[in-house]
Amino acid sequence: MENSQVNCKIEKEKLGELAEYLKIISDENRLKILCLLKHGERCVCEIHETLNLPQNLTSHHLKILREAELVIARREGKWVHYRLNDEKISYLTELYREIVLGG
Amino acid sequence: MENSQVNCKIEKEKLGELAEYLKIISDENRLKILCLLKHGERCVCEIHETLNLPQNLTSHHLKILREAELVIARREGKWVHYRLNDEKISYLTELYREIVLGG
DNA sequence: ATATTATATCAATACCTATTGATATAATAT
DNA sequence: ATATTATATCAATAGGTATTGATATAATAT
């Protein structure tokens, strides 16, 4: 009972979740943001200045990352600090490993 | 000399390569194809029948995967058999690990 | 040669999304 | 209150791409 159709059916529900994740992180600017946040929490202005992205574009990408729960926002006064959601990223990385790599 | 800007500059050249890979595999149908090919070489008709995709659409996605060198084609008579390019996928997975996960 | 099967390409559509410029909101300071 | 700084949203545009239907190519068989 271990054929590829069965396997693909089992993984099918997770496939959409993985595809959505991959789509979100397949943007160069969003990858840069994630890469930057690996080194710790950053506010929006730090992100857009460091990466040389317009403020509104940075905000836009952060919204997408935030809605996908890949990053977590924390307001402190005027500033909004963003950090990685490590658990979510770990979970989705495991999904990638499961679906794309070994069974 | 170990700040995020420097790191991101080092990784910058690889970032485009990773983004392209992620964009290609962020399509559900292409993920299904890769998932199917994990179990071994398949010809186009097997792929499109197993996954219930139109023949031309299957061919289209295979072309994208082939041009990205994620799969390798081998003609045998009327049939064209596709298989995973494990080395390329391993390389790009390592890139993902480097850039998105640990430094 | 013609027919059949397998695969690829082409053209058109329809949808999605990154980017930009302008504007709005939110918090603080004066 | 007004001003300033930080962030978010909105509208419009431009470019990309998944899908479909029709057609072409490639290999084999009759």
User: Which nucleotide lies at the shortest CA–C1' distance from B76?
Assistant: D27
Q: Is B57 on the interface with A (CB under 8 A)?
A: no
Give B-chain residues touching A9 at CB under 8 angstroms: none
**Average pLDDT of the residues in A15-31:** 98
Q: Residue A71: helix, strand or coil by DSSP? A: strand
Of B4, B35, B93, the CB nearest to A8: B35
Give the C-alpha separation, A59 to A33, whole Å.
11
**Whole-number mean pLDDT of chain B?**
92
Give the C-alpha separation, A38 to A32, whole Å.
10
- In CATH, what is the architecture of B4-100? Orthogonal Bundle (1.10)
Model confidence at A5, pLDDT cuts 50, 70, 90, reads: low
The residue with tokens 């997770």 is: A14
Give B-chain residues touching A15 at CB under 8 angstroms: 28, 31-32, 35
A10 has pLDDT over 80? no
**Average pLDDT along chain B, 103 residues, taken 10 residues at a time:** 50 91 98 97 98 97 98 98 98 97 81
Give the C-alpha separation, B15 to A28, whole Å.
7
Q: What is the pLDDT of residue B9?
A: 59
Helix axes B86-100, A28-37, angle to 10 degrees: 50
Q: For residue A27, give the chain B residue with the closest CA.
A: B19
